[in-house]
Amino acid sequence: METQQTKAILVVSFGTSYTDAREKNIDRIEADICAAFPDYRIYRAWTSKMILKKLKSRDGIVIDNVREAMERMEADGIREVIVQPTHVMNGIENDRMIADVRAYEECFASIRMGAPLLTTEQDSREAIAALEQEWSHLSENEALVLMGHGTEHYANSVYAALDYMMKDMGHENMFLGTVEAYPTLEALIRRMKKANPVKVHLAPFMIVAGDHAKNDMSGEDEDSWASRFSREGFTVECHLKGLGEYPHIREMLVRHVREAK
């Protein structure tokens, strides 16, 4: 029993205020990690201050931030820690998480860090394979348009690289854009006009199908992606399914725990 009490995996997510999105995505990722590492205790931390505050005031639910989780593990007698983010990329949230974890290096015998979802070329290939598996029913004249978050961080280039790799791997009808950076919705609309698909399938390229997916992507608002594509004359179908619901994406995160450095 001693190994169970002294070894832990801290799963760090941005978080979501939607219970259904948490259950379908974050809870399932944590459950898969738990099943793969029975000798470890599993802890949770979320990085979005806004979401943590909202859950506390709205639902009375208190979830640790990274520093609180590190303190909790130390108090529980944990000696060896693996920190595994569910972040899509090595962006701002991940940089902050690493800084918070490093502040507690002296408190544990060892801390190992797992990589975010898209870190290596192999990760990108596997993520595309997961999309391929999930969307195998799409016909060639239908388009899959994925909504990533986007960031001002230089890591944002991973989105355009992944979009390029999709085409390079033969998926001419898969497109990836972002809400807050490049590739933009305008760029996607221009490309869609050239491709001229019979139908556009919109899906989030985010761990959870939360606020962005429900509002910016599929909302009734005239600025939502669904509304914009519809106005351009495309037949649109929205799919509220986060990446955490894709079994192969969860397998990738389990592998990242195993490969933690």
Distance CA 113, CA 108 (A): 13
The owner of tokens 């978080």 is: 15
Is residue 149 flagged as an active site residue? yes
Domain made up of 121-242: CATH architecture: 3-Layer(aba) Sandwich (3.40)
- Would you kindly state where each structural domain of the chain is located, as residue ranges? 2-117+246-258, 121-242
Candidates 149, 201, 212, 256; catalytic one: 149
Average pLDDT over residues 71-80: 97
What CATH class is the domain 2-117+246-258?
alpha beta
- The pLDDT assigned to 204 comes to 98
Distance CA 143, CA 12 (A): 32
pLDDT digits (tens, 9 = 90+) for 135-188: 999 998 999 999 999 999 999 999 999 999 999 999 999 999 999 999 999 999
pLDDT digits (tens, 9 = 90+) for 215-225: 999 999 999 99
How many residues are present in the chain? 261
- The pLDDT assigned to 2 comes to 46
Name the band, by pLDDT with cuts 50, 70 and 90, for residue 5.
Answer: confident
Detail the DSSP E strand segments found in the chain.
7-13, 41-46, 80-85, 110-113, 142-148, 174-178, 199-204, 236-238
Burial 173-203 (b: 16+ CB within 10 A, else e): bbbbbbbebebebeebbeebeeeebeebbbb
The answer to whether 2-117+246-258 and 121-242 have equal CATH topology is yes
Can you state the percent helix, strand and coil of the chain, rounding each to 5?
50, 15, 35
pTM above 0.85, yes or no: yes
pLDDT digits (tens, 9 = 90+) for 91-113: 999 999 999 999 999 999 999 99
- 179: DSSP letter: S
User: In the predicted model, is pLDDT for residue 4 greater than 80?
Assistant: no
